[in-house]
Amino acid sequence: MRTRIKELRARDSLTQDELARKVNVRRETIVFLEKGKYNPSLKLAYDIAQTFGLGIEEVFIFDI
């Protein structure tokens, strides 16, 4: 799975730490998500998407 988190953070001028605090996870979780090394729970995916004002499918790209 790929994500647009890094791109969206840059758009909104958010650091990894700031995003992590907004969605109540550690910064390392955001790092792993951006590198594609961690698949988020549905709740975390929803919270991240809501932070950017987007739907889950606009932030997380499921490669088949």
* Domain residue limits, the chain: 2-61
Domain 2-61 of CATH type 1.10.260.40: yes
The per-residue pLDDT for range 15-59, each reduced to its tens digit, is 999 999 999 999 999 999 999 999 999 999 999 999 999 999 999
Q: Are 3 and 60 in contact (CB under 8 A)?
A: yes
- Residue 62's pLDDT is what? 85
Q: Identify the pLDDT of residue 28.
A: 98
pLDDT of residue 21: 98
- Give me the pLDDT at residue 63, please: 78
Q: What is the mean pLDDT of residues 6-15?
A: 98
Rounded-to-integer distance, Cα 49 and Cα 5, Å: 9
